[in-house]
Structure formats: C-alpha cells, structure tokens
Amino acid sequence: MSGQTLESIRIDAEVPDNVPKDRVVDLAFAMGGVPNDLVDPYEPVGWMTGDDLPRLLFQPPAGGALAAGAGMGGKGNWIAHRYEDIERVYTDNDHFSNAGTAEFQRVIGETFRSIPLAIDPPEHGKYRLFLTRFISPAQVNRMEARIREVCVSMIEEFAHKGEVDVAWDFGRVFPVRIFMGLMGFPDAMFEQFLDWEWDILHGGTIEKMQAALRGVLGYLRQFMAEKRVNPDGHLVSSIVHGQINGVPLTEEEQTGMVWFLWLGGLDTVAATISQMFRRMALQPEIQTMIREHPELINGAVEEFLRTQPILSSSRRATRDFEWHGMQIRAGDSFQCLNPAGNFDPRRFPNPRTFDPTRKGNRHFTFVGGVHTCLGAPLARKELRILLEEWFKRIPEFRVKPGTDTTVFPGLLSIRNLHLVWEPR
Ligand code: HEM
C-alpha cells in the first residue's frame, strides 16, 4: 500500500459530466475499507497531504448497502482532504447541507429524519439545544462516578488474570453499558443492539441491513411507547415527553432523535478504545509516557482521537458554485477525508508524532461546526477515566503472541485484540 501516487489510485469510471476524468480515484484504502497491520493504520493516507495533490478529487460510488443507506454519494463524492478545505465543508452551512446524512432508515422506506445530524441550521439549533441539556459537560460530570464504577469493576475482573481481549470483552462493552444507562435501555438488549448495529453498518448485504433496520426500529418504537406510559429519569423518556418552546415533540421527531442517538452512541467509543489499546501495545513508549506522566492523560486522549479519525463525514452542495477550479453542482456530494485533515502538516507540526503536549489540537474526529459530536464530552470523559483507572491497575502490556493485529482504519476497527501482562 505504500508508495502510492495520484497516478496509482486513478481509475476509469462513469462519473457526472462536471467531474474531470483525471480527478477520479479509488480511495477505499483511505476510507476504512481496506485493513492493514501498521502501528499507525492511517499512515497510508499520509502522502495525500502533499502540496502537489489537486485540492478536490472524486470517488465514484462505492455501491452496496452503505452507499444507499447513507443517503449520500449515490453518484459519487467529491473528496476534500486539506485541513482548510475540510473545515470549510463542515462550517459553511450556506454551501453544504447535512440533509440525508446517515439516514440508513430510507433503505426500508422510512421517512423520518435523523435528528439532529441530518438537520441544517437554523432548524438544527432547537433540536441541538433540547438534547444538549441531557448530555452537556455538566451532565456528563454528574455521570462521572457511575462511569468510574463501571470501568473499575470491569478492569478488576481481569487485572489479576494477566490477559484480556480488550476489543471484544472490554472496549465493546464498557461504553455501551454507560450508553444503555444514559438512555434507559435494559442491559438485556446489549448483544442484540450490537448485532443490529453491525448488520446496519458492516453487514455487507442490503438484506441484512434491512432486517436489522426493521428489528431496531420496531424495538425502539415499542420501547418509546412504553416510556410514554411509564416515564423514568432516562433520556428516551425525556425525549418522548419532551417539548420545544412549549410544543410537544412529534412522534417523528422523537423517533429521529432516539434512532440517531442509538446509531451515533453505540460503537463509536468502542472502535476508539480498541484502536487506542492496539497503538499502546505496539508502541509501548506511549504507555510509559502516560504511566510516568498521568497529568498528560487529557492530551493523550486528544492525540488518540486525532490519530484515529474513525469517520469521514459527508455533506451535500446546496447550490451551483465554483471551488478550486471545479464546477460544483447543487446536490453534489462531498466527503471529507479526516485521515488526511487530521495529519495536515500545515495545521499540525510533526503530524504523525503522538504528542500529548500538542497545543490547539482541533482535529476533525468529532467533525467541526454546528454538528460537532454531541456525545464528545461523554466520549472524552469515558476515555480519560479509562486511562486513569487502567494505568493504576495494569502494568506494561503487549499483544499476546500469535494475535492477529490487523485493523480496519475506521469504524469497523478491530474485533478481537488479546493483550497480556505480568499480573501484580
Ligand atoms: C469517540 C466516540 C465518538 C466519535 C468519534 C463520534 C463522532 C461523531 C461525528 C464524526 C459526528 C458528526 C457527523 C457529521 O457531522 O456528519 C458526530 C455527531 C454526533 N454524535 Fe458522535 N461520536 C462519538 C461518540 C458519541 C456518543 C457517545 C454519542 C451519544 C451519547 C454521540 C452522539 C452524537 C450526536 C447526537 C451527533 C449529532 C450532532 C449534531 O448533528 O448536532 N456521539 N459524532
């Protein structure tokens, strides 16, 4: 995969007539679709931060369930890869819209919108304000004791054994247990939720995706109906009884919010955790640095996030305009290559160095602009508590000999990762 050039990734494909043929490329390797076994799995995108690359490239449709479900990119995507261009796409709401983003539900004919992700300003603001009350930094601080309790009890279950599958038995479970508690979902739904999510995002066939969508939406609607009758202090209940400016949320709005929280909150932190431990196991000096300087934990979390951009978000052009010499048409889809933007040397000095003392670390892992991840304060809190509690209990760890450390550099990430250490 190394030694790539623009020439080597150029492909011949049907594209709309406003796209020059020499901009058409295959970026599957940069979008999380191709696994590798590098210490820094996002490294193969590194050459794309060079000055000679045209500012806008074009990726033809990937096809398959994901493209159809995402509601974007049916004709392909313009690709923005420079920090400054990605920042524009995420923040220029006059030229770029979120309508249709991550609306997998369309695949089974559902018409409700994913809220707040697929809503543009100014409408977006009222939904964002409504939800922020429940996942604000202050609210997340109130959850801290519970997050720590779950984290400590899970680590203590395996610390003395000297071994854990950190991806499957820990990373996959810890954040989802917190999320289930936040929303009020019963713990018994845990495995079923993860199965549905896997089939929607990574199942690979449209049939699997449709079945999972029907399953989860049927369950969420039934759960919401139950909370209408029996309210509790959790987030799904607050949403079904919610009002904005004194007006109760419609059933469509409630479904759009509960659905998107379910989709956005379930396995994003899990993917981040498994990649974080893989990196520390393969690069033990990061472990030493954190162990000797726990005051660097906040900076380390930010560096793990910057160097592991698990998602590359999409937007749609709202109008015809010219950008970097290209004729953009209303409706054209854009994808922002976060694994290039987060390593842009114009913005991040020594971008491939893991540096917890980095200042002004404004990466795109939670995107930017009005849609900046609403769950970011919760995700950061979980990751910080995890590092604090882990390093108090587990000595230097490494990958268990014989373990496959292949990783998809994206949300698909890594399913199993066996770590070993000398128990204390
Ligand atoms: C490390 C973990 C996480 C990552 C990397 C992540 C990433 C993202 C990204 C990239 C977006 C923007 C997508 C776009 O604009 O196209 C987003 C939005 C969002 N995320 Fe997260 N997320 C994480 C955790 C969470 C959690 C735990 C929750 C819920 C508890 C959550 C809820 C949301 C919501 C509601 C939005 C939509 C915000 C809006 O449109 O205003 N996320 N997230």
| Dihedrals phi, psi of 370, to nearest 5 degrees | -65, -25
Q: Does ligand 1 have an atom closer than 6 angstroms to the CB of 313?
A: yes
d(CA 132, CA 171): 25
Select from 341, 336, 313, 339 the least CA-distant residue to 407.
339
**Which residue's CA lies nearest to atom 9 of ligand 1?**
366
Residues 334, 316: contact at Cβ < 8 Å? yes
Residues 268, 261: contact at Cβ < 8 Å? no
What is residue 36's three-state secondary structure? Answer: strand
d(CA 16, CA 7): 20
Query: What is the model's pLDDT at position 289?
Result: 98
Q: Does ligand 1 have an atom closer than 6 angstroms to the CB of 275?
A: no
379 Cα: distance to centroid of ligand 1 (angstroms): 9
pLDDT in tens, 114-147: 999 999 999 999 999 999 999 999 999 999 999 9
Q: Does ligand 1 have an atom closer than 6 angstroms to the CB of 264?
A: yes
pLDDT in tens, 164-211: 999 999 999 999 999 999 999 999 999 999 999 889 987 779 999 999
Residue 111, Cβ density class (10 Å: 0-12 exposed, 13-18 middle, ≥19 buried): exposed
- C-alpha angle 51-43-80 in degrees, rounded to nearest 5: 45
Query: What is the model's pLDDT at position 73?
Result: 59
Instruction: Assess if residue 317 is contained within a domain.
Output: yes
pLDDT in tens, 51-76: 999 999 999 986 443 443 344 557 89
Query: What is the model's pLDDT at position 71?
Result: 42
d(CA 215, CA 196): 7
Query: What is the model's pLDDT at position 102?
Result: 82
Q: Does ligand 1 have an atom closer than 6 angstroms to the CB of 339?
A: no
Instruction: Assess if residue 405 is contained within a domain.
Output: yes
Select from 290, 305, 304, 308 the least CA-distant residue to 394.
290
**Which residue's CA lies nearest to atom 43 of ligand 1?**
373
d(CA 47, CA 274): 25
Instruction: Assess if residue 397 is contained within a domain.
Output: yes
Query: What is the model's pLDDT at position 89?
Result: 98
Query: What is the model's pLDDT at position 64?
Result: 42
What distances in angstroms separate CA 121 from CA 92, 116, 258, one per listed residue? 11, 10, 20
| 285, two tokens | 């000096």
pLDDT in tens, 207-266: 999 999 999 999 999 999 999 999 999 999 999 999 999 999 999 999 999 999 999 988
Closest ligand 1 atom number to CA of residue 367: 10
Helix (DSSP H) and strand (DSSP E) numbers for the chain: 15, 12
Residue 422's pLDDT band (cuts 50, 70, 90): very high
pLDDT in tens, 314-352: 999 999 999 999 999 999 999 999 999 999 999 999 999
d(CA 91, CA 72): 18
Select from 201, 198, 229, 187 the least CA-distant residue to 69.
201
270 Cα: distance to centroid of ligand 1 (angstroms): 13
E-strand spans in 82-188? 96-97, 163-165
Q: Does ligand 1 have an atom closer than 6 angstroms to the CB of 311?
A: yes
Question: Chain-wide mean pLDDT for the chain?
Answer: 94
d(CA 61, CA 45): 20
Q: Does ligand 1 have an atom closer than 6 angstroms to the CB of 373?
A: yes
Q: What is the bridge-based pairing of β-strands 77-80 and 333-336?
A: parallel
Query: What is the model's pLDDT at position 65?
Result: 38
CA 55 to mean position of chain CA atoms: 24
311 Cα: distance to centroid of ligand 1 (angstroms): 10
Within 10 A of 389 (CB to CB), how many other CB atoms are there? 19
161 Cα: distance to centroid of ligand 1 (angstroms): 34
Instruction: Assess if residue 338 is contained within a domain.
Output: yes
pLDDT in tens, 343-396: 999 999 999 999 999 999 999 999 999 999 999 999 999 999 999 999 999 999
Query: For tokens 């199993």, what's the residue?
Result: 416
Query: What is the model's pLDDT at position 374?
Result: 97
Average pLDDT over residues 289-313: 97
68 Cα: distance to centroid of ligand 1 (angstroms): 21
Average pLDDT over residues 259-280: 94
Select from 162, 72, 155, 165 the least CA-distant residue to 118.
72
Q: Is the pLDDT of residue 308 over 50?
A: yes
Select from 383, 201, 370, 181 the least CA-distant residue to 274.
383
Residues 258, 265: contact at Cβ < 8 Å? no
424 Cα: distance to centroid of ligand 1 (angstroms): 38
**Which residue's CA lies nearest to atom 23 of ligand 1?**
268
Select from 163, 255, 265 the least CA-distant residue to 213.
255
| 210, two tokens | 């449709």
d(CA 234, CA 242): 12
> Which residues, in sequence order, are CB contacts of 63 under 8 Å at separation 6+?
none
Query: What is the model's pLDDT at position 266?
Result: 83
386 Cα: distance to centroid of ligand 1 (angstroms): 19
**Which residue's CA lies nearest to atom 7 of ligand 1?**
366
What is the total count of domains within the chain? 1
Query: What is the model's pLDDT at position 204?
Result: 79
- Which string of DSSP letters, residue by residue, matches 159-225? GGGTEEEIIIIIITTHHHHHHHHHHT--GGGHHHHHHHHHHHHH--SHHHHHHHHHHHHHHHHHHHH
Residues 98, 315: contact at Cβ < 8 Å? yes
324 Cα: distance to centroid of ligand 1 (angstroms): 29
Average pLDDT over residues 98-113: 93
d(CA 12, CA 28): 15
21 Cα: distance to centroid of ligand 1 (angstroms): 34
d(CA 397, CA 399): 7
Average pLDDT over residues 152-158: 98
- Bridge partners, residue 59, by sequence: 77
Closest ligand 1 atom number to CA of residue 118: 40
In a 13 Å sphere around the CA of 353, the CA atoms on its Cβ side amount to 8
Average pLDDT over residues 82-111: 95
Its domain, for residue 99, covers 6-420
Instruction: Assess if residue 369 is contained within a domain.
Output: yes
d(CA 196, CA 216): 7
Q: What is the bridge-based pairing of β-strands 247-248 and 314-317?
A: unpaired
> Which residues, in sequence order, are CB contacts of 145 under 8 Å at separation 6+?
none
Instruction: Assess if residue 93 is contained within a domain.
Output: yes
Domain containing residue 48: CATH number = 1.10.630.10
**Which residue's CA lies nearest to atom 18 of ligand 1?**
373
- Give the dihedral sign, CA 290/293/299/303: negative
Instruction: Assess if residue 1 is contained within a domain.
Output: no
